[in-house]
Amino acid sequence: MDIRGKKILVIGGAGFIGSHVVDELRKDDVKEIIVYDNFCRGSKENLEDALKDPRVRIYEIGGDILQTDILAGAVKQSNAVVHLAALWLLQCYEYPRAAFDVNIRGTFNVLEACRDANIERLVYSSSASVYGDAVQIPMTEDHPFNNRTFYGATKISGEAMCRAFNDRNGLPYVGLRYMNVYGARQDYKGTYIAVIMKILDRIDQGQPPIVYGDGSQAYDFIYVTDVARANVCSLKSNASDRFYNVGSGTRTSIKEVCELLLDLTGSKLKIQYEPAGKTFVTNRIGSTERAEKDLGFKYKVNLREGLKHLIEWRNAHKALVAERARQAR
């Protein structure tokens, strides 16, 4: 799809990933970027620079995907849609009925609105949570759904609905399965990336960073600007009716992340190990081959560089970080 001169609707565009998608779209010659967000998790602070661009606006009437008439109005003003709105993993664990409403019914609402408006392309944000713990490493997109969380179940449902709307209505879409996304503007609500913020909090306070268990839990960390770029690559690609891993393909343990953070901050503190609590997934690294081949997407920001960017952002936004930490308690 040629996105030049097009209007792009970013659902969840004030959020952690969504605001970076907005920024990435601003690099292209698009006509308009419409942010549709209920600000449950997103914030106007995330859009502070973007809103200086006359092509960017927040949809004035509302931003909730459960309000079907308002949603339909926003979609009708657009040529393409990026759908990122969802309740996160722990919310889905604690409030499964709310998760059903937002992640499943809300996604159906988005698909229905896209069908009715003859949208040229939809990019749906899924998650590596559909895989659960790895059966084999790296996980290709054909890896079995080994998920046991309600969050993962909602994402599997979203994927199946995308495929059904494509089969019945010809709705063109691409689905993205994010690995562990981290970076500037992140909050404390991501189950696996929140540990990075909490480690940095402890280091800032002069307290030893805490790692639960032995720290061998390993994940595929991907910097948020790379994820935003994957969304724009998906809009521009000719791929359709397929799902793609968005990750670095690199295995990094929590212990290694903690050691990197100590090194980058120049701290001499030692890691404090505590008994492991509830962990949903302990081993997950994705294959990047399909995304490279079909979408032309390959990550650029390595973990050390990404963590350095995150630390710089934290230092420049201390009041905002403190407020988000307070809200997470």
List active site positions.
Answer: 151
Host H or E run for residue 212? strand 210-212
Tokens representing 223? 């910097």
Residues in CB range of 57: below 8 A, 6 or more apart: 32, 33, 34, 35, 51
Residues in CB range of 38: below 8 A, 6 or more apart: 62, 63, 64, 65, 85
Residue with tokens 């992340």: 257
Report residue 271: phi and psi, to 5°.
Answer: -65, 135
- Total Cβ atoms within 10 A of residue 278: 8
Does residue 31 contact residue 60 with C-beta atoms inside 8 Å?
Answer: no
Say which amino acid occupies 314: R
Q: How many residues does the chain have?
A: 329
Alpha-helical (H) ranges within the chain are 16-25, 68-76, 89-94, 96-99, 106-116, 150-169, 194-204, 224-236, 254-264, 289-295, 303-316, 318-328
- Name the nearest CA neighbour of 245 among 225, 218, 223, 227: 227
